[in-house]
Amino acid sequence: MSPETSIVVPVYNEEGAAAALAREIAAAFDGRDYEMIFVNDASRDATLAELEALKAELPRLRVLTHKSNAGQSRAVRTGVLAARGPIVVTMDGDGQNPPADAPKLADALKAAPGEVALVGGRRAKRQDSAAKRYASRWANGIRKKLLNDQADDTGCGLKAFRRESFLLLPYFDHMHRYLPALMIREGYQVRFEDVGHRPRTTGASKYTNLGRLWAAFSDLAGVMWLRSRARNPGGAVEV
């Protein structure tokens, strides 16, 4: 039988963080009908070995692994394609998203009307460097103004969405940062909830401000083009 909720976590070189995060997710969803899917994006450290060793302890844990590194968005998509639940919750693999907040987003989406396809997390007290917080605030402001996606913090990895809605979206690298805009493009509504945020205690960030800025220009232009080419029929009725 399919679970109610699938938690999808992309991981890349998160040795020391992935196993602890999986245990936290299991504790947060204890007593619920769920599965968790960790997608190893061809890590070069012991991430995969740690997750495989954990499967006996956590029977709801599924581990998928890419043969080649393909990036966070592809890892999320791999997890969603494999998910068996109608509600998918994503979170970053570095442990900065507190798993305790994940059930709240899933419950908010389940209680929402069908036209709401996504409930995104909004980091209330972000625990990152001042430079990273400033760059994120600047980028979020530009993106929100140009795309009108209602999102103050689209970079937050903690999101809950309807699996069937996600699978209607066009795939491209870094699409995980544009999920609110892409959902709205398909005619859905999006909502947001405040969530916690923690300092990174293991490993290193896979992104830099300069790298994000370079990708953001082309991605933003692409999403603006996608929005300009959208034609929504307002639904379809079989006659």
- Any idea what the CATH number is for the domain that residue 59 is in? 3.90.550.10
Count Cβ atoms within 10 A of the Cβ of residue 1 and give its class: 0-12 exposed, 13-18 middle, 19 or more buried. Answer: exposed
N residues, the chain:
239
User: What is the structure's pLDDT at 129?
Assistant: 59
The reply to whether 87 falls in a domain is yes
Radius of gyration of the chain (CA): 17
Q: Is residue 177 part of a domain?
A: yes
Parent domain of 174: 5-228
Q: Which helix (H) or strand (E) holds 219?
A: helix 209-228
Mean pLDDT in runs of 10 for the chain (239 residues)? 95 95 98 98 97 97 98 97 98 94 97 97 74 65 79 88 97 93 95 89 62 73 91 87
Assigned domain for 236 exists: no
Q: What pLDDT does 201 receive? A: 75
Q: How far apart are CA 109 and CA 231, in angstroms?
A: 26
- Report d(CA 171, CA 180) in Å as an integer: 14
Please count the structural domains in the chain: 1
Compute, in degrees rounded to 10, the torsion defined by CA atoms 222, 134, 17, 122. Answer: -70
Please say whether the beta carbons of 5 and 106 come within 8 A.
yes
| Residue 159 resides in a domain | yes
Element (H, E) at 235: none
Q: What is the pLDDT of residue 135?
A: 61
On whether residue 187 sits in a domain, the answer given is yes
Cβ neighbour number for residue 17 with a 10 Å cutoff: 21
Q: What is the pLDDT of residue 149?
A: 85
**237 in a domain, yes or no?**
no
50: in domain: yes
Q: Which residues contact 121 (CB under 8 A, 6 or more apart)?
A: 97, 101, 105, 153, 156, 157, 158, 159, 192, 193, 194, 195
The alpha helices in 17-59, defined as continuous H runs, are 18-28, 47-54
Model pLDDT, residue 123: 87
What pLDDT is stored for residue 203 in this prediction? Answer: 62
Say if 86 falls within a structural domain. Answer: yes
- The structure's pTM equals 0.88
Q: What is the pLDDT of residue 151?
A: 83
